[in-house]
Amino acid sequence: DAGVIQSPRHEVTEMGQEVTLRCKPISGHDYLFWYRQTMMRGLELLIYFNNNVPIDDSGMPEDRFSAKMPNASFSTLKIQPSEPRDSAVYFCASRLSGGSYEQYFGPGTRLTVT
Amino acid sequence: GQQVMQIPQYQHVQEGEDFTTYCNSSTTLSNIQWYKQRPGGHPVFLIQLVKSGEVKKQKRLTFQFGEAKKNSSLHITATQTTDVGTYFCAVKPPYGGSQGNLIFGKGTKLSVKP
């Protein structure tokens, strides 16, 4: 199994630009999570989906952030416009319903906004 | 909302010394998971504890779930440089909240001096 795949692995952009992060969950997993990790705030849940439907987006910082899951094998997290305070590592994770709630994390995207 | 407190935030040990991190909740937990994140890496699932007073071992790692299911600990015997990383506990949200996700503690960052 390839595991959770994220792209790009690194992104450097200028303030005001649009940023799109991509995630492919593990095949067959029906939950998908987007997290943001910074030194100051730790690991924060931004949004999660179940069967492609957003269930809880209360962690999305503001309207500049949006996430979609058009099908079971792909999700995007978009930031428009980006700001320097958005600099962080963004993780995507997936899991299978039922069972232990164990989450499988992707390698993350390190975003730097200058 | 549900929170889990992890202590200590940082721990520096000499190689060969023992290490313990604690996770505490004000409410009774249904279960608790532990994850490890290596520097520059992503969180990786280690174990799940479900039963009151449960103790599980993985080589030099010992995981405990408190009798009241409000706290848990991870103990590493005779640390090695390969143990370096951040250890997170994670719990399911309380009933009435969004049920599909996990709530992560802030983590304990372990450094090991050779």
For the segment B75-87, what is each residue's pLDDT rounded down to a tens digit?
999 999 999 999 9
Model pLDDT, residue B92: 85
Mean pLDDT, rounded, of chain B: 93
Model pLDDT, residue B95: 61
Model pLDDT, residue B80: 97
Show which of residues 5-64 on chain A sit within 8 Å of chain B, judged by CB atoms.
31, 33, 42-43, 45, 48, 50, 55-56, 58
Model pLDDT, residue A61: 87
Q: In chain B, what's the furthest Cα-to-Cα distance? A: 47
| A34 touches A46 (CB < 8 A) | yes
Alpha-carbon distance of A52 to A68, in angstroms, equals: 8
Please judge whether B101 and A102 are an interchain contact, meaning their C-beta atoms are less than 8 angstroms apart: no
Model pLDDT, residue B46: 97
Q: Which residues contact residue B91 at a Cβ distance below 8 angstroms, ignoring those fewer than 6 apart?
A: B2, B4, B25, B29, B30, B31, B32, B33, B102, B103
Parallel, antiparallel, or unpaired: how do β-strands B61-65 and A42-50 relate?
Answer: unpaired
Whether residue A50 has pLDDT greater than 70: yes
Tell me whether B45 touches chain A (CB under 8 Å).
yes
Query: Which pLDDT band, with edges at 50, 70 and 90, does B100 fall under?
Result: confident
- Residue B42: which of A48, A50, A107 has the nearest Cβ? A107
Q: What is the mean pLDDT of residues A25-33?
A: 96
Model pLDDT, residue B52: 96
Tell me whether B109 touches chain A (CB under 8 Å).
no
Phi/psi-derived region of residue A16, left when phi > 0, alpha when psi is between -120 and 50, beta in every other case: left
- Of all residues in chain A, the one with the smallest CA distance to B42 is A107
| A45 touches A57 (CB < 8 A) | no
Model pLDDT, residue B1: 55
Whether residue A112 has pLDDT greater than 60: yes
Please judge whether B101 and A42 are an interchain contact, meaning their C-beta atoms are less than 8 angstroms apart: no
Please judge whether A100 and B48 are an interchain contact, meaning their C-beta atoms are less than 8 angstroms apart: yes
Which of A45, A102, A109, A110 should be substituted to probe chain B, the one whose Cβ sees the most B Cβ atoms within 10 Å? A102
pLDDT tens, residue by residue, B14-46: 999 999 999 999 899 989 999 999 999 999 999
Cβ contacts of B43 on chain A, cutoff 8 Å: 43, 91, 93, 103, 105
Model pLDDT, residue A68: 97
Which of B47, B101, B104 should be substituted to probe chain A, the one whose Cβ sees the most A Cβ atoms within 10 Å? B101
Alpha-carbon distance of B87 to A39, in angstroms, equals: 14
Which phi and psi (to 5°) does residue B83 adopt?
A: -85, -10
* DSSP structure string for chain A: ----EEE-SEEEE-TT--EEEEEEPPTT--EEEEEEEETTTEEEEEEEEETTEEEE-TT--STTEEEEEEETTEEEEEESS--GGG-EEEEEEEE-SSTT---EE---EEEEE-
Q: What is the mean pLDDT of residues A45-56?
A: 95
Question: How many Cβ contacts (< 8 angstroms) between chains A and B?
Answer: 50
Q: What is the mean pLDDT of residues B102-108?
A: 92
What is the DSSP-derived secondary structure letter of residue B101? S
Q: Which residues contact residue B92 at a Cβ distance below 8 angstroms, ignoring those fewer than 6 apart?
A: A101, B29, B30, B31, B99, B102, B103
